[in-house]
Structure 1
Amino acid sequence: MAPTFSTPIKLMSFSILFFLIINIVNAQQSNLVYYLQDIGKGNNPTVATVIGINGRVWSYNTFGTIFVVDDPVLLEPSPLSTQVGKAQGVITVTSIDGANVNIVLSLVFNDVQYGRSTLQIQGSSHQRDNLRELSVIGGTGRFRFARGYVVFETVSYDPTNNHSVIKLAITLSIP
C-alpha cells in the first residue's frame, strides 16, 4: 500500500493557519497623525522637478513629469511645529490627463520615539481629490512588517509659494 501524504499536508496547513491567526490576533493597530510641509518655490523648496517629456511644460498636471520630495514631517500643521522626520521619495505624473500621480515615499523618523525607523508608502493618488488613500507596504525599526493605509488630506495650499500643508492620517497593523 502506497503511503498517504494527506496527514502531513493537513498538519502543515493547520500549522500555517494557526500561525497566521496568532499573528493577526497579536497585531497591534496604531493610528498616527503627522503633517507635511510641501514647498515647491522659494529659497528652500522641498519638492523639485527632476525631468519630464521634452517640449512640454513640466508640472504636477503634465504626464511624465517626475519630482523628488524631501518634506519635513511635523506634529502639527504649523511650520514651526516639532519635526519628527522627513518624507522622502518620488512622485510621477502617471495619467495622460494629469489627474493621477504615483507616489513612492519613505517616512524617515528622527525623533526619540521612532528614531531611525521608516514607513514605506506607495500607490496611485488622484491628486485633485482632497482625501487620497495610499498603502503602507512596510517599514523598518519600530515599524518592521507594518501594513496599513494612509489618508493624505490637503489642509491648506498657498499658490503664490506653491506651499501645501498635508495631513497624514496613518492606520497601521504591526505584528
Structure 2
Amino acid sequence: MQGLSIKPSTKLQLSSLLVAVATVMLVLLAGVAHGGGRRLVVSSSEDEPCKKMTVYYHDILYNGNNTGNATAAARTNGTFGLLVVFDNLVTEEQALSSELVARAQGFYFYDKEEDNAWFAFSLVFNSTAYRGTLNLIGPDLIAEKTRDLSVVGGTGDFFMARGVATLRTDSFEGLYYFRLQMDIKLYECYV
C-alpha cells in the first residue's frame, strides 16, 4: 500500500479552508459570548444613561432574636472590623412590604476605626420587569450624604452592564436595620 501524498497546492487550499472554517466558528462563538446578537449601547452623556432605576435595599442584621426576618449576619468580629454576609430584599418603593424587584446577595466589611463599609454584591433580578444580575463593588463612606458604587458587570437583561449605583441612607434604626436608596445608572448596555 502506498502512502497518501498531497500536492503543495492542495495543502495550501486545505490550510486556507481550515483557517476560513476556524474564523467563521470564532465569529459565531463571539456572537454568542457577546449576548447572542445584542448590540452595545454606550451613553454619550452622564445625563443620559442607557438604563436607569431607583430601588431600595433593606438590611436586617441578625441580633440573636430575629431569626425569622433577618437577612444579614455578622460572620466575624475581628480586631480590624466586621464582615457581614447578606441576602437582602430590594424593593421598588421604600416600604419593606412593597414589591420585591431583586435580592442583594454578597457581603460588606465594616472598618472598626472609621465606621465605613466596603461592599461586593450582586443584585439578582427575577421578575416580570427584569431577569439577570447586576454586580456592584466599592466603598460605602457612611458619613457622606451620597456614595457611589461601581456597576462592574451583569447577566441576562443586564448583560455586561457598566455604570454607577449612587447610595443614600434612607432610613437607619439602631444597629440592626438600615435602608438604602439606590439610584442605578447604566452607561454601557447591551440591547
TM range (shorter): 0.7 to 0.9
Structure with larger Rg: 2
Q: Which ranges of structure 1 fall in alignment gaps of 5 or more residues? A: 1-21, 57-62
Q: CA deviation at 1:25?
A: 6.4
- Partner SS state of residue 154, structure 1: strand
Aligned with 2:117: secondary structure? strand
* Aligned pairs (5 A) from 1:90-169: 90-93=107-110, 95=111, 97-115=113-131, 117-159=132-174, 162-169=176-183
RMSD (Å), alpha carbons: 2.2
Secondary structure of the residue aligned to 1:143 is coil
Q: 1:37 aligns with which of 58, 61, 65?
A: 58
Using the size of structure 1 for normalisation, the TM-score is 0.73
Structure 2: which 5+ residue stretches go unaligned? 1-39
Question: Could you tell me which residue of structure 2 aligns to residue 47 of structure 1?
Answer: 72
Q: Is residue 85 from structure 1 mapped to residue 102 from structure 2 by the alignment?
A: yes
Q: How does 1:5-16 map to 2 (within 5 A)?
A: none
Give 1:77's aligned amino acid: Q
Determine if contact 2:117/2:140 at 8 Å carries over to the other structure. yes
- In 1, Cα distance between equivalents of 2:130 and 2:87: 18
CA-CA distance at 1:96 after TM superposition? 5.7
Match of 1:73 in 2: 90
Count, aligned residues: 143
Match of 1:24 in 2: 42
Question: TM-score, normalization: structure 2?
Answer: 0.68
Cα 1:25–1:74 shift into 2, 3 Å: closer
What CA deviation, in whole Å up to 9, does each residue of 1:118-153 have, x standing for no partner? 000001121222311110000001101100000111
Provide the identity percentage.
30
- Structure 1 stretches (4+) deviating beyond 6 angstroms? 25-28
CA distance in 2, matches of 1:78, 1:23: 33
Could you tell me how far apart the structure 1 residues matched to 2:177 and 2:41 are? 41
Aligned to 2:14: none
- Cα distance, 1:89 vs structure 2: 0.4
